[in-house]
Amino acid sequence: MSKSTTISFEFFPPKSAAAESAMWEAVPELAALNPKFMTVTYGAGGSTKGQTLQIAEKMAAEQPMPIASHLTFLTTERETLREYLEELWDRNVKHIVALRGDLPKDKSFDDFKGDEFYKTTPEFIADIVSRHPFEISVGAYPEKHPDAATLTDDIQTLKDKLDAGGTRGITQFFFDNEVYYRFMDQCAAAGISKPIVPGLVPIHDFNGLKRFAANCQANIPDWVGAKFEGLDNNPDEAYKIAVDLLVEQSLDLTKNGVDHIHYYTLNKAGITREACKALSA
């Protein structure tokens, strides 16, 4: 990588033996690109708790860069999360991506209002850093979190999370860099001075990405969709377009002063690797 641009990668716990094998092939290939850190996601309601811990611990043992575990609090009691934090610290996982987490479909927020639960993400973050000097990354949403009333309210929540002990924000993925640039201006106006890292996603499966983006209310511009029209049976051309898109987006960010990019790898190396190679060219 160039001296002026650093990178980081996200992985998620695989759901099958074949997917696990593919992930462990991608990890060392991307680790060889010298990322600043790598993260492992944590399933809704702690559904991948044990698997996340195992993957993060193995990465921490095998790779030289810091490893981060995502951690959500909404549906899990404080004491359970505190025990998990101790396990992470003891296993040399000292970076947390602290998130609220999604509400289960059969539950309401009222189900988690008891004193045994954290009430807000800033409260959760403050407790984490009071226990150990974890590095803390938090979620940032250039197009607004789906549950926030307004983008202004959401930016205030981001500021509260960073003020509580967050090290940086990492954004939801986006495809129009102007959205990120406007968001950065709004964050600065709100008094946020800590880094807000852009999160980018490679398009391995456009139809799958559309479904995922709809769930998290992330916009896919029409011009992006147009590039993949008629390519359902032409994976080679779709791959080439996906590489070009990620390379162009990455380079534009660095040209506009961004010095760190976080890639949601989807447990695959190819497209992300090509973007990182372009950054170091």
Catalytic machinery residues: 10
- Smallest CA-to-CA distance from 138 within 120, 121, 119 is with 121
Residue position matching structure tokens 């916009």: 219
Kindly list the distances between the CA atom of residue 41 and the CA atoms of 9, 45, 172, 220, in Å, as whole numbers in the listed order: 11, 12, 14, 23
First to last CA, the chain: 8
Listed residue (256, 250, 245) closest to 279, CA to CA: 250
Helix (H/G/I), strand (E/B), else coil: 138: strand
How many CB atoms neighbour CB 130 within 10 A?
Answer: 9
DSSP 3-state of 104: coil
